[in-house]
Amino acid sequence: MYTTLIQVRERRIRYQEIADDVRRLVRGRAAGSLLPSESELSARFGASRVTVRRALELLRDEGSIAARQGFGWFVATEPVQQRLEWLGTIEDQLSGSGRRARRRVTEFAFVVPPPHVRRILDDDEVLRVERLTLADGEPFAVVTVWCPGDLGRALSREDVERRPFYELIDRPLRGATQTIGADAADAHQAALLGVPVGAPVLRCQRVTTDTSGRPVLVSEHVFPAHRTEFVVELPSAEPSISPAGLRLVE
């Protein structure tokens, strides 16, 4: 009995020691950033995964970390709420929530568009820009934008890194249509966003038109699912328990 009590006490102290170490690790990381996996922490601390998980659960109960299927453990964060009622930029929405936003262009090239973009823009050569949006220095979204070649040739890499396309396109804009769905991060997206391959992501496709109705931008935004949520007001919706605007995806 005495030996058993000592062993229980040692196990309790060990997970608390690990919790202290992970707590210090968390303090040096931005909200939403991923922590090492349970197996990596187990190897780092020379402890069983059961002991490591108990330490992580202790910190979760404190509210400093959280876990989600497909991501593992991450520094606790409130998802950024993005409004869908107006034509804005990710950076504006991040700034509005008190986050420091920055964009980094990872590709700027004139390319043959993929079939779905070709159908929308009706152009055989388009400007393709891929950029990574950072929130407080951490990856927040991978954004890919296609625009018709005649509009894109007036732009430079420096232009699209400093300013949103809405300010750069020499056309008055009418509005946009957005389609949002669930997906899984491929290897390229996972590397940019710092999440595991196959982690759940939200994918938002936006088609922006000018005042004549011509599509002038096709953009695709990929967000780690634990870092953002989309909000839309339904001021005059009919009473219903079902979400509005749903359609079946084939």
Structure tokens belonging to residue 103: 């964009």
The answer to whether residues 67 and 140 belong to one domain is no
8 Å CB contact between 66 and 73: yes
The answer to whether residues 168 and 106 belong to one domain is yes
8 Å CB contact between 199 and 249: no
In a domain, 177, yes or no: yes
pLDDT at res. 147: 95
Mean pLDDT for the stretch of residues 86-92: 71
The answer to whether residues 59 and 92 belong to one domain is no
- CA 48 to mean position of chain CA atoms: 32
Residue 60 burial (CB < 10 Å; 0-12/13-18/19+)? middle
Please indicate, yes or no, whether the overall pTM of this predicted structure exceeds 0.85. Answer: no
Judged against a pLDDT cut of 60, whether residue 6 lies above it is answered with no
The answer to whether residues 133 and 222 belong to one domain is yes
Residue 105 burial (CB < 10 Å; 0-12/13-18/19+)? middle
Last residue of a domain, one of 75, 92, 121: 75
Looking at the chain, the whole-number percentage of residues with pLDDT higher than 70 is 86
Last residue of a domain, one of 18, 43, 75: 75
Judged against a pLDDT cut of 70, whether residue 213 lies above it is answered with yes
Range of the domain at 9: 2-75
Mean pLDDT for the stretch of residues 185-211: 92
pLDDT at res. 246: 56
What total number of domains does the chain contain? 2
Query: For the domain that residue 40 is a member of, what is the CATH number?
Result: 1.10.10.10
Query: For the domain that residue 219 is a member of, what is the CATH number?
Result: 3.40.1410.10
The answer to whether residues 105 and 214 belong to one domain is yes
Judged against a pLDDT cut of 70, whether residue 238 lies above it is answered with no
Most confident residue range from 9-18, 69-78, 184-193: 184-193
Judged against a pLDDT cut of 80, whether residue 176 lies above it is answered with yes
pLDDT at res. 83: 67
pLDDT at res. 145: 96
In a domain, 241, yes or no: no
Last residue of a domain, one of 75, 94, 126: 75
pLDDT at res. 85: 61
Instruction: Round to whole Å and give the CA distance between 179 and 177.
Output: 7
The answer to whether residues 173 and 217 belong to one domain is yes
108-122 pLDDT, tens digit each: 999 999 999 999 999
- Between strands 72-75 and 80-83, the pairing is unpaired
Count of C-beta atoms within a 10 Å radius of residue 211: 10
Judged against a pLDDT cut of 60, whether residue 5 lies above it is answered with no
In a domain, 242, yes or no: no
Looking at the chain, the whole-number percentage of residues with pLDDT higher than 90 is 42
The answer to whether residues 124 and 49 belong to one domain is no
In a domain, 239, yes or no: no
pLDDT at res. 2: 47
Residue 138: pLDDT band (50, 70, 90) is confident
In a domain, 248, yes or no: no
In a domain, 240, yes or no: no
In a domain, 98, yes or no: yes
Non-local (6+) Cβ contacts of 93 within 8 A are 80, 81, 82, 83
The answer to whether residues 115 and 145 belong to one domain is yes
24-68 pLDDT, tens digit each: 988 878 778 888 889 999 999 999 999 999 999 999 988 898 888
pLDDT at res. 4: 53
Mean pLDDT for the stretch of residues 226-234: 79
Instruction: Round to whole Å and give the CA distance between 168 and 31.
Output: 32
The answer to whether residues 106 and 225 belong to one domain is yes
Judged against a pLDDT cut of 70, whether residue 8 lies above it is answered with no
What mean pLDDT, rounded, does the chain reach? 85
pLDDT at res. 94: 79
The answer to whether residues 88 and 61 belong to one domain is no
Structure tokens belonging to residue 215: 């599509």
In a domain, 119, yes or no: yes
The answer to whether residues 85 and 64 belong to one domain is no
The answer to whether residues 35 and 145 belong to one domain is no
